[in-house]
Chains A and B, each alone.
Chain A
Amino acid sequence: MKYSYYPGCTLRTKAKDLDAYARASAVALGFELEEIENWQCCGGVYPLGSDEIASKLSSVRALNEAKEKGQDLVTLCSACHHVIKRVNDDMKNVDDIRTRANNYMQLEEPYAGETEVLHFLEVLRDRVGFDKIKEKVVNPLTGKKIGAYYGCLLLRPGKILEFDNPENPTIIEDFIRAIGAEPVVYPYRNECCGGYISLKEKDMSKSMCERIMDSADGMGAEMLITACPLCLYNLKKNGNDKLPVVYFTELLAEALGVKEEVAK
């Protein structure tokens, strides 16, 4: 199976690991990530202004390219996924945005939300299947107690992201089970880390991240995993260092026995 792949800028710079481990794991699991050409930054934040078009165009370009190839579009960074999925929803359901975006784009055939946007975790769950992953695991992470940190961007708004139950998600816990480790459910796993507020009000992000860490630590987690570069940054810089934080793809690569390859 071949998917169009949108890595996003952070995965080229700060979060190279997230990307590299995902690519290696994809190969091990037997699906192909084909990076789309000339992708541009998604903007990082979904623009809430209903008349804002320009900053949605990069998403539309990526979506249209996948459409032309007849492929689903896979994302990995939570922020990119959030922006692209929501823009796709706009293109499908909001007449005004669709018309204006297509007026800018001047495509041969107008884009109307045809592409399916999948987060890498959704590919693992819905296309590969956690059962299949379990079969391919060569280094099960037996005995490791791992807390899933979802953050907010993957889950909300629930009706558009349709990723999991925003108040009680289970996909990363199921992932943790698939790689042989033990998930630790803690109530703050779907609360915000503060996001970009850490640039302006570091203390606020600090109190939010500490609460998340304390909650996970209290429930017995030994480490946290996340899909979001910004969450990882905040938890590491603004948390209280109680728990290590890594990308979920790193553990996947480790379990699949391809981590060493990437390190080389």
Chain B
Amino acid sequence: MQRIGVFVCHCGSNIAATVDVKKVVEMALLEPGVVHAEDYQYMCSEAGQAKILEAVKEKGLTGIVVCSCSPRMHEATFRKAAERAGVNPYMVEIANIREHCSWIHKDMEEATKKAVILARAAIAKVNLNAPLQPGESRVTKRALVIGGGIAGIQTAIDIADAGYEVDIVEKTPSIGGRMSQLDKTFPTLDCSACILTPKMVEASAHEKINIYTYSEVEKVTGFVGDFTVDIRKKARSVDMNKCTGCGVCQEKCPSKKAPSEFNRGLNTRSAIYTPFAQAIPNVPVIDRDACLKFKTGKCGLCEKVCQAGAIDYAQQDEIITEKYGAIVVATGFDTIKLDKYDEYAYSQSKDVITSLELERIMNAAGPTKGHLERLSDGKAPKEMVFIQCVGSRCADNRGKSYCSKICCMYTAKHAMLIRDKYPDVNVTVFYIDVRTPGKNFDEFYRRAVEEYGVNYIKGQVGKVAPLPNGKLLVQGADLIDNKQILKEADMVVLATAIEPDPSVRKIATMLTASIDTNNFLTEAHPKLRPVESPTAGVFLSGVCQGPKDIPETVAQAGAAAVKAIGLLAKDKLMTNPCTAKADELMCNGCSTCANVCPYGAITYEVKQVNDHGIREDRRIAVVNNALCQGCGACTVVCPSGAMDLQGFSNRQILAEVDAICR
């Protein structure tokens, strides 16, 4: 029989205002095994923990139940306290009477009843708890960064500077990401490439950083400190060791009709291509869907003109398997599709463009060589209209409920740059709110209005109608003047909402990292652990976690690096002892458990067993404790009931259920 102590926390008024804590103490004392129960204002405080230590000493407690907040909050605190008192930390159970009870109920009588039941369940479980000992696992001193945009580059540089090996996996042919597509950056208006290229060079030249471009993460196994990752290096059709980056192949390539991804499809590129001039590595890839050699077997011109003999049509995808201690996700974003926003005529007129497309048009290396012109007829616009919040802050399910955060600032930037370079162009911005929190941000926006004469109109646009004369009639509302506005424009720019890059779903699944309804990766804690995923050893960098601008992204990238370094600096990690275990006498070796195990932790061994005096060799499931994450899937499917989860055994769970239903 256990000797159990029950400690009920008031959490100030968080619990005590809704739950009669004295009553919980009183009822707990009636439960089997309970020899001590008390309540205290803050159980997690030094004084509260001292009460636990004292009670263990005085009453010789073997099990502890704390009725308090979620175990995600303070389970570790109380386990440590138990350890200090000489009680095995796995003899502690938390009854969550705050998040699961006091915070969600109003009626004190009902809430108290529920708190008593939750306490009772935890007591029933502790009665069956057994001491568990955590094991140890090693830490591989190498980090993987998924995504080679500014977030991934910065994280990789910071980890590498601390002395650890880092691999960057980037799915496109070059690192650089979205930032490489931008023309200028707010609020200083410095050129994006000028500040990004040195970072790209630094990453590629760093002796501790290894970059896999045109590569994707294919499979992730293992756990914190010891991940094993398969990386698919897609066939580049160009030998990276031989190519000198001279660019002749791209000039000579006869197939030049593939839409340029880098220029958002506004112009075309050759089938063999590097996405942009400053690409790293400066080694082209062959787009096999566009290449004549691959499509028809004829051509082979690039091979003929390549002095270095680097073209290799026979190249195959290659799988690289590497071990990592930490993984940082930096998969970035894309703009949303506009197919649900036909009122803005994006699909009907070439002169309605997204802001990211405008970045390419404004860029000297873009499709119009930096000249602001209409894509329909190449004419210089005289009237430009910007529409804010296209798909952002959307109340229905067409767009996104969140604010994309960067649009107010980049629109002010675009407006200012256009007014500066083309003073005869009128710029009108339709907005819901102008949101400019950030250092020097509001000053920047005010400069656009006050010094550059950008016409800001508070109100939304209901329709953009292409007119017979080639112009666009923008129909909007001016909420301050309370009137309808009809404005003829030459170009309309849509501040299109951003969303996580679609590839993140697959990556999150591989990492068992959680994502929210908008596909943003979830933090371990929204305030206190903002750069860590709830999955141990996985860290978040950049927009994959939520919308942010460049300075914020770089700051978060550094923070993620620090967290990864903190992990890599350790030699060993304690492992969770709550793993599955097969009862040798009950297991019939059917393989059902191994088939459902998501971590590949179950193998089979032939063992001699003594079944009530009969000795025989049997095929029996064996769990690798280092791989098992304690998910419990095997215990559910086991037809003979041989699989059990230590710390969460079937008996313990059923005892909890019984206690609740009693």
A167 B468 Cβ-Cβ under 8 A: no
Residue in A165, A187, A191 whose CB lies within 8 Å of B466? A187
Interface string of B104-120 (1 = CB under 8 A from A): 00000000000000000
Give chain B's interface residue range (CB within 8 Å of chain A): 10 to 19
Closest residue of chain B to A216 (Cβ to Cβ) is B468
The smallest C-beta distance from A211 to any residue of chain B, in angstroms, reads 9
Inside 8 A of B465's CB, which chain A residues have their CB? 187-188, 215
In the complex, A215 Cα to B472 Cα: how many Å? Answer: 12
B342 A165 Cβ-Cβ under 8 A: yes
Interface string of B342-359 (1 = CB under 8 A from A): 110101100000000000
Interface residues of B in 396-418 (CB under 8 A from A): none
Interface string of A168-211 (1 = CB under 8 A from B): 10000000000000000101100100000000000000000000
In the complex, A218 Cα to B469 Cα: how many Å? Answer: 8
Interface residues of B in 304-354 (CB under 8 A from A): 341-343, 345, 347-348
Interface string of B369-413 (1 = CB under 8 A from A): 000000000000000000000000000000000000000000000
Interface string of B473-491 (1 = CB under 8 A from A): 1000000000000000000
Chain B CB within 8 A of A219 CB = yes
Closest residue of chain B to A188 (Cβ to Cβ) is B465
Chain A CB within 8 A of B73 CB = no
B468 A219 Cβ-Cβ under 8 A: yes
Chain A CB within 8 A of B463 CB = yes
In the complex, A167 Cα to B466 Cα: how many Å? Answer: 13
Inside 8 A of A168's CB, which chain B residues have their CB? 342, 347-348
A187 B345 Cβ-Cβ under 8 A: yes
In the complex, A61 Cα to B469 Cα: how many Å? Answer: 50
Closest residue of chain B to A169 (Cβ to Cβ) is B342
Inside 8 A of A215's CB, which chain B residues have their CB? 465, 467-468
Interface residues of A in 204-250 (CB under 8 A from B): 215, 218-220
Give chain A's interface residue range (CB within 8 Å of chain B): 10 to 19
Interface string of B34-76 (1 = CB under 8 A from A): 0000000000000000000000000000000000000000000
Inside 8 A of B345's CB, which chain A residues have their CB? 187
In the complex, A167 Cα to B390 Cα: how many Å? Answer: 15
A187 B463 Cβ-Cβ under 8 A: yes
B341 A167 Cβ-Cβ under 8 A: yes
The smallest C-beta distance from A30 to any residue of chain B, in angstroms, reads 34
Inside 8 A of B343's CB, which chain A residues have their CB? 167
A167 B342 Cβ-Cβ under 8 A: yes
In the complex, A185 Cα to B465 Cα: how many Å? Answer: 11
Closest residue of chain B to A187 (Cβ to Cβ) is B465
Inside 8 A of A191's CB, which chain B residues have their CB? 463
Interface residues of B in 274-332 (CB under 8 A from A): none
The smallest C-beta distance from A50 to any residue of chain B, in angstroms, reads 20
The smallest C-beta distance from A71 to any residue of chain B, in angstroms, reads 33
The smallest C-beta distance from B462 to any residue of chain A, in angstroms, reads 10
The smallest C-beta distance from A150 to any residue of chain B, in angstroms, reads 13
In the complex, A165 Cα to B338 Cα: how many Å? Answer: 13
In the complex, A218 Cα to B342 Cα: how many Å? Answer: 20
In the complex, A4 Cα to B211 Cα: how many Å? Answer: 67
The smallest C-beta distance from A218 to any residue of chain B, in angstroms, reads 3
Inside 8 A of B469's CB, which chain A residues have their CB? 218
Inside 8 A of B466's CB, which chain A residues have their CB? 187
Inside 8 A of A165's CB, which chain B residues have their CB? 342
In the complex, A172 Cα to B472 Cα: how many Å? Answer: 24
B348 A187 Cβ-Cβ under 8 A: yes
The smallest C-beta distance from B445 to any residue of chain A, in angstroms, reads 30
The smallest C-beta distance from B115 to any residue of chain A, in angstroms, reads 35
In the complex, A58 Cα to B219 Cα: how many Å? Answer: 61
In the complex, A222 Cα to B342 Cα: how many Å? Answer: 25
Which of A165, A187, A188, A220: most chain B Cβ within 10 A?
A: A187
Closest residue of chain A to B344 (Cβ to Cβ) is A167
In the complex, A185 Cα to B469 Cα: how many Å? Answer: 15
In the complex, A167 Cα to B340 Cα: how many Å? Answer: 8
Inside 8 A of B347's CB, which chain A residues have their CB? 168
Interface string of A151-167 (1 = CB under 8 A from B): 00000000000000101
The smallest C-beta distance from B160 to any residue of chain A, in angstroms, reads 49
Closest residue of chain A to B469 (Cβ to Cβ) is A218
In the complex, A4 Cα to B348 Cα: how many Å? Answer: 38
B467 A218 Cβ-Cβ under 8 A: yes
A218 B468 Cβ-Cβ under 8 A: yes
Inside 8 A of B468's CB, which chain A residues have their CB? 215, 218-220
9 tightest Cβ-Cβ pairs between the two chains A and B:
A218-B468, A168-B342, A187-B465, A167-B342, A167-B343, A187-B466, A219-B468, A165-B342, A188-B465
Q: Can you list 10 A-B contacts with CB-CB less than 8 angstroms, sorted by A residue number?
A: A168-B342, A168-B347, A168-B348, A185-B348, A187-B463, A187-B464, A187-B467, A187-B473, A191-B463, A215-B465
Residues of chain A whose beta carbon lies under 8 Å from any beta carbon of chain B: 165, 167-168, 185, 187-188, 191, 215, 218-220
Given A187-B348, A187-B466: 6 more A-B contacts, CB < 8 Å? A165-B342, A167-B341, A167-B343, A188-B465, A215-B468, A220-B468
